[in-house]
Structure 1
Amino acid sequence: MSSLPDSYLTYPRRHAGPDHDHYPASPVRDRAPVTLPDGAGLGLWVVVPLEFFPLNPSGQPFKAPGAMQTPYPDLRHYTTRDYGNRVGAYRLLKLFGRLGLRATFAVQGAVAERYPGLVQDVLADGHDICAHGWDTDSLHHSGLAADVETGYITRTLDAIQAAGAPRPDGWLSPARAEGFQTPARLAAAGIRWFADWAHDELPTRFRTDGGDLAALPLSNELDDWQILITYGRPEHEWATQVSDAADWLSAEAERLKSPRVLTLVVRPYVSGLPYRVRALGDSLKGVLDRPGARAIGPSDLLRALSA
C-alpha cells in the first residue's frame, strides 16, 4: 500500500476564516450596527439585468443561464430574450413607477450598443445603472488572458457611457462568473462596488491587488430565474418566499438593532411576462408596505458600509 506524498497534505490556504484574503471571517451577529436612509430596518434592493443573448453562443467556459438551447438558429429562445428588452423591461419600468421604487438596472455593453434608447428610458425614470459585462457569451473566468478580460470591462463601460449614461462605478458579471483576477481588474478600471458574491446580507469591504471594492449583497436564492425557472416553482410560491424572507429579516433587524437587506434579481424576460408581473408587483408592494421598510440602492449600501 503506497502512502500519499507529503505535498498532498500541504495547502497554503488551510487556516481559520475564508479560503482567500479578500475579507476576514465576520459572523453577522458580531457586526457594528449600520444605518439605512430614514432609519429603515429593512432595505429592499431590486436589480434588473438587461442582457443580450447571442443567437450562436460559444458556450465557453459554460452556457450562461438563459442561453440558447436548441440547434442553431434557436429563434424560440432568442426572441423570448429579445422580448424582455422590447416589452418586459417597459412593463417593469411602469410597475416600479407605480410603486415609487428605484431599482438598479445592470446593463450589458451589447445592450447599450444595440438599444441605447432603453438605457435612456431607464435613466429618465430615475433608476440606477451598473455594468453587467459585454454579453452573456463573454463570461469572466481564470482562463481569460489579462488583456481580454480588461477589454471586456473597458468595452462595456465605454458602451454604456456612449449610450448617454454616467460611466458606471458598479458591476455585476454575466452569469455572476469570475476569474481569480476579476475583482482586481474591476477595481483597476475604476469600479467601486460589485455584486457577484453572495457571502452576506450586508455590504462588506473587499480587498484586491488592484484596490479595494465594496461587495454588495445580492442573493442568488431569491433570483427569479433560480426560483421560477431552475426550481420550476409557481409564482405564488416565489411571492411567499419573498414575504417569508422579509418577515425573517425584519424580525432579525429588530432583535439585533441593525437593519437588514432583502435583495431581488428580476429579469424582464422572466418577471416581465404578463402572467407574472402582477405577482411581482404584489410581492414588492407587500415588502414596501411593511413598517420600517424602504427601497434602497447602491449609494445607500455604500454609505452604510463607510459610516
Structure 2
Amino acid sequence: MTSMDSSRLTWPVAPWPVSDRPTIRWPNGARVAFWVAPNVEFYEISPPSNPVRAAWPRPAPDILNVTARDYGNRVGVWRCIDIFDRYGIVGSVSLNSAMCRHFPHVVDLFVERGWELLCHGDYNTRYLFGRSREDEKALIKNACAEIAEFGGRPVEGFLAPALTYTEHTFDILTELGISYTLDLFDRDEPYRLSPRYGEMVSVPYQVEINDFHALTAQGLAGEFYLRRFRNHLDRLCLEGEQSGRVVGLPLHPYIIGQPQYVWVLEEMMAYVRQRDDVWIATAGDIARHFRATTAGSRQGATQS
C-alpha cells in the first residue's frame, strides 16, 4: 500500500467563482445533450486484495453478490439492448476491459451498433485506491489498449473503476492522452479542467440519476426513479435555453435489466425520444463539440 501525500493533491476543476463561463450551443438548437452510459463490468469472485477497500461485503466466496452482478452480462444486457435498438439510442459504454476477454460477445453487441467504448478500468473489483503511481498507470494504460484493440478505435474517455482514485489519477490520464473524464460531479455542463491537465474535458455523469444509487442504495420504487429522471431532464431543458446542459444517465444491466425495472428504461428512452430539444449523443461527441465550439475558455481555471 502506498500512503497518500496530501501535499501533492491538486484540484482538477476550475476555481470558484467561475469568471468566464462560456455559452454552450448544441447542434440543431438542442437545449440538452443526452447520453446514456451502460456500465458493462466484470466482477471477480476472488480478486486480489486491496489495502483500502474490500471487494465484497461477505466472506469469500460471496456467491450472492458475484452472481447478482453477473446477471447483467448473462440476462440484463440483452433486455437493455432491445430497448436501445427500439428507440434508436446509441451512447457510450463504460467498459471494464476484462469484458473483452471474458464476455466478448457482450462487447460485440455494442461495437456492432456503433457505440463508443470508454475505459472503466480492467475489473470492477480492482480498485485504484492504494496503488503506486506506476501500478496505476500500467493498469489504466493496459485497459485502454485492450479496449482500443477490441473496438478498433482509440479510447477517448475514462471513468475510474468503482469510482476509486489516487492523487495521481488525473495526471496519469493526461499523460495517456485521455481527452475527457466522467469522474467529476460538480456541474450539469462540460468544462475544461485546470491547465495542468491540458485540453481534458469533464463530461457530466450524474450519480443522482444512477440506477444503482436510486434503486439499490436509496431503494426507490421504479415509479419514483422514473419521475426523478423526468424532473431532472425537464429542469435542464428549461435552463438549457440560456446555455446548453448535459444529462448523462449511468445504468447497470444487472439492475435496470431486471424484470421489475426494465420498463423504467423503456419509459426513459421514450421520454427522451419524444422531445425535440434534446441531442442524443455519445460522451465523446459531447466532449468534442464542447472543445471545438468553446475554444480557449478555461472557465476561470488557474494553474494548480
Shorter-normalised TM range = 0.7 to 0.9
Structure 1 residue aligned with 2:186: 199
Structure 2 residue aligned with 1:55: 45
C-alpha deviation, 1:300, in angstroms: 2.9
* One of 4, 29, 36 as aligned partner of 2:26: 36
1:68-107 to 2 correspondence within 5 Å?
Answer: 68-107=56-95
Q: Deviations over 1:7-34 (max 9, x none)?
A: xxxx999xxxxx8364232559x63221
Structure 1 residue aligned with 2:120: 132
Give yes or no for the alignment of 1:20 onto 2:46: no
Structure 1 residue aligned with 2:281: 296
Tell me: higher relative CO, structure 1 or 2? Use CA pairs within 8 A at least 6 residues apart.
2
8 Å contact kept, 1:139–1:175: yes
Counterparts in 2 of 1:244 and 1:195: CA distance versus 1, 3 Å:
same
* Amino acid aligned to 2:156: D
8 Å contact kept, 1:42–1:262: yes
* One of 254, 264, 268 as aligned partner of 1:279: 264
Task: Look up the SS of the partner of 1:20 in the other structure.
Answer: coil
Give ranges in structure 2 of 5+ residues lacking alignment: 1-5, 294-304
Structure 1 residue aligned with 2:169: 182
C-alpha deviation, 1:287, in angstroms: 2.7
- Over the matched positions of the two proteins, sequence identity in percent amounts to 26
* One of 245, 251, 255 as aligned partner of 2:232: 245
Q: Distance in 2 between matches of 1:273 and 1:59?
A: 30
Paired residues in the alignment total 285
TM-score (ref. length: structure 2): 0.87
8 Å contact kept, 1:288–1:294: no
Structure 1 residue aligned with 2:212: 225
Structure 2 residue aligned with 1:148: 135
TM-score (ref. length: structure 1): 0.86
Give yes or no for the alignment of 1:119 onto 2:104: no
Q: Distance in 2 between matches of 1:247 and 1:175?
A: 29
The CA RMSD measured in Å over matched residues stands at 2.2
C-alpha deviation, 1:59, in angstroms: 5.0
Give yes or no for the alignment of 1:268 onto 2:258: no
Q: Distance in 2 between matches of 1:93 and 1:264?
A: 15
* Amino acid aligned to 2:138: G
C-alpha deviation, 1:113, in angstroms: 2.0
* One of 145, 150, 167 as aligned partner of 1:158: 145
8 Å contact kept, 1:43–1:261: yes
Task: Look up the SS of the partner of 1:94 in the other structure.
Answer: helix
Counterparts in 2 of 1:21 and 1:249: CA distance versus 1, 3 Å:
closer
Deviates more, 1:31-40 or 1:213-222: 31-40
Give ranges in structure 1 of 5+ residues lacking alignment: 1-10, 14-18
Counterparts in 2 of 1:128 and 1:177: CA distance versus 1, 3 Å:
same
Q: Distance in 2 between matches of 1:211 and 1:291?
A: 34
